[in-house]
Amino acid sequence: MDLSYSIEKPDWVALTIVIEEIHEELAQSRRNLLYCLSNWFLAVTIFKRFEERQMVMGSPVSRDREYHRVNLTGILASGEKLLHELLKHVELDTRTVGIDLQDVQAAVEELRMSYAEWFSDMTPDRKKQILAEVFGVED
Amino acid sequence: MSRIELLEQILEARFDLDYAPRELKAECQRRLFSLVDKAIHGKNVSRYELLHSLHDRYVQYKRVRRKREKLSMSQRLRSQ
């Protein structure tokens, strides 16, 4: 991926670096899991702010869409890894960093759902069919 | 509840989950899934398929609601 600095939209690049750093820390087990969990939640918060600004409130161009997909994939992968490790290490209590395990599970599930919402491969006809069948509305 | 009301409630619940503080994520997710499950009950549609089908509407809903919230906040700040 091109990580070169862009004066117009430096934010995606910065976010990508943060997410890659968290991924790296998790992969190498350099830090304890609860520390990684706090960092991951912070990265999710920043990601969602960028997503809102660039993808919802703004007019995204292909570069935004590409970085959005890359960063969502990266943050989801780190979340899955974290959750997997937390479920293995039952002695760790996530409540010591102010969060219940079920909320970590829900946060990871929310990212899976978000990926499906943004990037699922569904034909326009199938989408129309679902909306008509479930809500009786047109696309 | 009419089907349109259910659709509106799903969009609202999706928004609530989107902006929920981390300690309320599970609770908000349960509410959203319960509404989605109600909508797809007896139909050959999965949760993710339904949410993907609603995504364009949700983005529009979120845009309008966030603009309204930001406007209302700036009006409150100006009046202080």
Average pLDDT of the residues in A17-41 = 84
Are the Cβ atoms of A52 and B66 closer than 8 angstroms?
Answer: yes
Q: How much is the pTM? A: 0.88
A chain contacts of residue B26, beta-carbon cutoff 8 Å:
100, 102-103, 105-106
Please check whether residue A90 lies inside any domain of the structure: yes
Query: Which chain B residue has the Cα nearest residue A53?
Result: B63
Are the Cβ atoms of B26 and A113 closer than 8 angstroms?
Answer: no
- pLDDT the model gives residue A4: 52
On the 0-12 / 13-18 / 19+ scale of CB atoms within 10 A, A61 is: exposed
Task: Evaluate if residue A23 carries a pLDDT over 60.
Answer: yes
Chain B within 8 Å of A41 (Cβ-Cβ)? yes
**Which residues in chain B show pLDDT less than 70?**
none
Q: Using CB atoms, pick whichever of A103, A116, A137 lies closest to residue B48.
A: A116
Please check whether residue A5 lies inside any domain of the structure: no
Q: Using CB atoms, pick whichever of A57, A120, A137 lies closest to residue B66.
A: A57
Are the Cβ atoms of A110 and B49 closer than 8 angstroms?
Answer: no
Average pLDDT of the residues in A41-62 = 93
Q: What is the span of the domain harbouring residue A50?
A: 10-135
Average pLDDT of the residues in A52-79 = 94
pLDDT band at residue A3, thresholds of 50, 70 and 90? low
Please check whether residue A46 lies inside any domain of the structure: yes
Q: How many domains does chain A divide into?
A: 1
Quote the distance between the C-alpha of residue A26 and its chain's center. Answer: 16
Hey, which of A15-19, A93-97, A98-102, B55-59 has the most confident mean pLDDT?
Answer: B55-59
Average pLDDT of the residues in A89-107 = 87
pLDDT above 70 covers what percent of chain A?
90
A chain contacts of residue B38, beta-carbon cutoff 8 Å:
none
Structure tokens given for B52 = 């993907």
CA dist., res. A50 & res. A77, Å (int): 18
Chain A within 8 Å of B38 (Cβ-Cβ)? no
Are the Cβ atoms of B4 and A137 closer than 8 angstroms?
Answer: yes
CA dist., res. B66 & res. A49, Å (int): 12
Which residues does A115 contact at the CB level (< 8 Å), separation at least 6?
Answer: A72, A73, A76
- pLDDT the model gives residue A92: 79
